[in-house]
Structure formats: structure tokens, C-alpha cells
Amino acid sequence: MPKPPASFAPELTFAFEIRAELSPTRHVGHGDGELLEFTPIVGGTVTGPRLTGTVLPGGGDWSSTRGRVCQLDARYLLQADDGAIIDIVNRGYYRERAGSPDQHDAGLRVSAAGVYYRTSPVFRTDAPAHRWLAETVFVGLARGEEDVVAIRMYALS
């Protein structure tokens, strides 16, 4: 009898961290049970083993809160150290979730206890050295800090 195929579980590999600097959130309005806000992105850094560069000013994050769940829809530009421009559309969710622990990666706290703050970014660029970004699925683990949102990007194998 033939052996069954080996099981496969995808793995996440740390690629880089985006630290987007924010200016104050602007209230846009209320819908039916919804709060809509916009937070401008005014700069920042990108550091990690697979990508380094800066966050360019001019993008922003639209957040729509319904009940206890905040849906995020951010779009901004990165500039790699080699000058290449990279577009990022980063969607995700923030919600408080009782019972979830602090999560750490190599000693760094990547998410706080009681908080689910995850993103699913999509990148676009025509720079050959960075095409891998547009051909890879990522998961972002985000955490808020004073005037900064830090997002650790993990490539899914």
C-alpha cells in the first residue's frame, strides 16, 4: 500500500517591519452604526532582512468601526534604499479580544495581550529587485505605539 503524501503546513518568515508615522486622526462621519475616520501617514521607516527604506508621506489609513471591530484600509508608498518605489495596500482588522496573550518574535513584543491587530498587505512595483513583494502573500502583525503604527511583515511560504 502506498504511503500517504506528507502533510504540508504553510510557514511564516519575518521579512521586514514598517514603522509608519502618523498625524492626528480625522473624524469623517457616522453611517448606520459605523464610525469612519482617516489617519494620515506622514513618513516612517522600513527595516529588515528582506527590505529597507522609508515610508513616503502622503498616504493614509481609512478605518471603519462597527461595534467592537475596526476594519482598516491603508494605502501608501515605500521607497527602498535603492530608490525603487513600492505601492502598498494594507487591509486588516483591529479588535480587542479577551484572553489572547502577548506575542513575541525574537524577544520583541509583536502584539499586545487582549488585542487582535492583523493585516493582509498587497505590494506593487515594477522594480526587478523587488518583484518578489508583488508575488508573495504576507501577513502583518501590527502594534500601536505613540504616533506610530509598527507592522511586522511575514512572508507566507
Residue 1 lies in a domain: no
Average pLDDT over residues 43-64: 98
- Average pLDDT across the chain, whole number: 92
Q: Domains in the chain: how many in total?
A: 1
CA–CA dist 142, 145 (Å, integer): 10
Residue 9 lies in a domain: no
At 86 the pLDDT is: 98
- List the one residue out of 47, 44, 46, 66 whose CA is nearest residue 56: 44
Residue predicted with more confidence, 1 or 42: 42
CA–CA dist 149, 95 (Å, integer): 15
Range of the domain at 86: 19-156
Residue 12 lies in a domain: no
For residue 41, pLDDT beyond 80: yes
At 136 the pLDDT is: 98
Residue 80 lies in a domain: yes
